[in-house]
Amino acid sequence: MKNKTLTLDISHKVAHITLSRPEKLNTMSTDFWLEFPKLIKKLNDNAAARVIVISSTGKHFTAGMDLEVFTSGTLSQEAETGRKNEHLRQLVIQFQEAFNLLEKIRIPVLVATQGGCIGGGVDMISACDSRYCTEDAFFSIEEIKLGMTADLGTLQRLPHIIPQGLIRELAYTGRRLMASEAKEAGLVNKVFADQETMLTYVMEIAKQIATNSPLAVAGCKEMINYARDHSVSESINAMSIWQSGMFQPQNDMMETFMAKKEKRAPEFDELCKIESPIQDN
């Protein structure tokens, strides 16, 4: 299926998703909110790749939410106040879920940003596993300048990534966090001179991840996310449960030993496909 806001390329077990509306600053239009979560879910459920890389086109990574989303008339205007407000809450939950998927899926997600990463863009990258940017990149919680509170995950995830004082300053002021400061604060792993160099590096990291056991990588993601939201004792207990069920040394571990002995790259089975009882149209 051809997407209007995204392109997809799968190579070396890496799925490369590119935001492809540079003339619109890659704003997140109504089409984006339909296409993006559907594509992420399909890649995960079909075990179509072992890593996802998200990048963009043009001068800016994304200018955030497209104004058409606010003016498209999706809100019910006729209902009484309580029902109208409940409807708004359901819409917000749908938008949140599009980025929640980046955390929930079994596949690591790497994101490479250039230029501005604004508003919804910060919500998106906050849900990714690792972030990279170019020297001209900047990040802005722009919602405060529009008279609203960021509501798609930035305020919940960034405090686990960068210092509390800094996230509060950014949220209250909407100022730009430039690339060098983002690296110093731990928001991004590495800063690059240009997009081409960045993508070369990020794709190489993705390929390295893709050579490892997809089951072991999925376990790492699951347990790191769990540890973020739970105590050490709870997380260690969860690790024991995961390991007792998923760790099968006669399979992937034995394959790594045999591969070393035979001086070849190990070959691992893909994760099983997820067959949903509810099929998308």
Both tokens of 168, joined, read 């509060």
Q: Is the pLDDT of residue 280 over 60?
A: no
Per-residue pLDDT of 128-165, as tens digits, reads 999 999 999 999 999 999 999 999 999 999 999 999 99
Mean of the pLDDT values across residues 54-59? 97
Per-residue pLDDT of 112-132, as tens digits, reads 999 999 999 999 999 999 999
User: What is the structure's pLDDT at 108?
Assistant: 98
Q: If pLDDT is split at 50, 70 and 90, which confidence band does 225 have?
A: very high
Per-residue pLDDT of 69-121, as tens digits, reads 877 666 666 788 898 899 889 999 999 999 999 999 999 999 999 999 999 99
Both tokens of 85, joined, read 């407000």
Q: Where are the domains of the chain?
A: 6-210, 212-281
CATH topology of domain 212-281: Lyase 2-enoyl-coa Hydratase; Chain  A, domain 2 (1.10.12)
Q: Is the pLDDT of residue 37 over 70?
A: yes
Cα 91 to Cα 78: distance, rounded to the nearest angstrom: 16
Per-residue pLDDT of 234-265, as tens digits, reads 999 999 999 998 888 788 999 999 999 999 99
Q: Phi first, then psi: what are they for 91, rounded to 5°?
A: -65, -45
User: What is the structure's pLDDT at 69?
Assistant: 81
Contact 125, 53 (CB under 8 A): no
Q: Is the pLDDT of residue 31 over 80?
A: yes
User: What is the structure's pLDDT at 248?
Assistant: 80
Both tokens of 111, joined, read 């994101």
Per-residue pLDDT of 164-198, as tens digits, reads 999 999 999 999 999 999 999 999 999 999 999 99
Cα 178 to Cα 264: distance, rounded to the nearest angstrom: 43
Question: Which of 122-140 are b and which e, b meaning 16 or more Cβ less than 10 Å from the residue's Cβ?
Answer: bbbbbbbbbbbbbebbbbb
Top CATH class of 6-210 equals alpha beta
